[in-house]
Amino acid sequence: MACLDSAGAVVWARNLGVPDNDHGHSASLDIWRNLLLVQLDQALAEDEKSKLVALDCISGRTVWETTRPLACSWSSPVVISAAGQEQIIACGEPWVIAYNPANGAELWTARCLGGQVVPSPISVNGLVLAVSVDGKLAAIRPDGQGDVTQTHVAWTAEDGLPSICSPVCNGEFAWLLDSGGLMTCYDAADGKKVSERELDKSSRASPTLVNDLLLLLSDDGVLFILKAGTKYELVRRIELAEQCQASPAFQPGRMYLRTKNHLYCFGTADRQ
Q: Kindly report, residue by residue over 191-222, the tens digit of the pLDDT.
A: 999 999 999 999 999 999 999 999 999 999 99
What's the whole-model pTM score? 0.94
- Percent of the chain's residues with pLDDT above 70: 99
**Burial of 209 (C-beta count, 10 Å sphere; 0-12/13-18/19+):** middle
The rounded radius of gyration (Å) of the Cα atoms in the chain is 19
SS3 state of residue 202: coil
Backbone phi, psi, residue 45, to 5°: -60, -40
pLDDT tens figures, 216-232: 999 999 999 999 999 99
- Give me the chain's average pLDDT, please: 95
Residue 272 confidence (pLDDT) above 70: no
Does residue 271 have a pLDDT over 70? no
Model confidence at 268, in pLDDT bands (50, 70, 90)? Answer: confident
**257-267: average pLDDT:** 94
Counted residue by residue, the chain has a size of 272
pLDDT confidence of 269, banded at 50, 70, 90? confident
Whether the CB-CB separation of 134 and 155 falls below 8 Å is answered with no
User: Which amino acid, one-letter code, is at 51?
Assistant: K
Q: How many CB atoms lie within 10 A of CB 44?
A: 13
Q: Identify whether the C-beta of residue 162 lies closer than 8 Å to the C-beta of residue 177.
A: yes
